Amino acid sequence: MTDRGEESIRDAVRERYAWAAIAVQRGGGDADVNVGEGFGSSLYDSQVGDLPPDAVAASLGCGNPTMLANLEEGQVVLDLGSGGGIDVLLSARRVGPSGKVYGLDMTPEMLALARRNQAEAGADNVEFLLGMIEDIPLADESVDVIISNCVINLSVDKDQVLREAYRVLRPGGQFAVSDVILRRPLPKVLAKLAALWTGCVAGALVDIDYEAKLASAGFTDIEIQPTVIHDRATLEQWAQSMAVPPEVNTREAFDQLDGAVANAFIRARK
């Protein structure tokens, strides 16, 4: 893919999530952002009662990575693509005042929302950073745990993301993310649609490719566990929020996608 093509995809992702952040703030915590994500929202039900409503409303992920990581008091945690901050705020509780949680996001509107949620929650052990997950603005071996929620699949250079994750993790550090994966290769025509990139499908890796990229970056103890396998009906409903070009045969596309897309917990260790 050309640099121009990569930047086009990044721009599409940035625009979509900027719009989602604005929609949440305008809705006062009650907005339905409807950007095609949120498959994992029910996994937060028992944890979010006292979080800022806008942090919950802006949860656009496909799981709950805070359930994966064995977080301990005093640890340093990094959330790749932290959005409105729900996973950062939940992690901050678990690492306590002696720990630190960084949230990294490339969308200024999401960062503004996250910082407002941080202030409302009174989370002093949190810092939100503007930047790309392909170029993490933290020092080598400075983080104990990396989490992420339906973000790595959006990157146009996943090898670089995983290399950067490995770089900033301390020896023995955890990689514990929720992401969308493919259980078989995606038809090429769908992989070219920016609308599906921002919807977490066309950028997803086939499970064996994800495992290979983690291993290539240096990770060990790799585990990929599908949690929800999406059928045709779910994907058709999801696609209602996507600007699929009219030349795409949606009936044929969803025949091929039926059962191919899954949410997954992905774990590894440095």
Q: Given this model, what pLDDT does residue 59 score?
A: 64
* 4 — pLDDT class (breaks 50, 70, 90): low
pTM: 0.85
- pLDDT of 76 > 70? The answer is yes
Q: Any idea where the domains of the chain sit in the sequence?
A: 3-269
Question: Quick check: 220 and 268 in contact, CB under 8 A?
Answer: yes
Residue range 114-128: mean pLDDT, rounded: 95
Structure tokens at 240: 């209602």
Query: DSSP assignment of 94-153, as one string?
Result: HH-TTSEEEEEES-HHHHHHHHHHHHHHT-TTEEEEES-TTS--S-TT-EEEEEEES-GG
Overall fold of domain 3-269: Rossmann fold (3.40.50)
> What is the dihedral sign for C-alpha 179, 248, 36, 195?
positive
Average pLDDT over residues 230-245: 71
What is the phi/psi pair of residue 171, to 5°?
-55, 130
Q: Which of 27-41, 91-105, 116-130 has the lowest mean pLDDT?
A: 27-41
- Does the pLDDT at position 105 exceed 70? yes
35 pLDDT tier (thresholds 50, 70, 90): very low
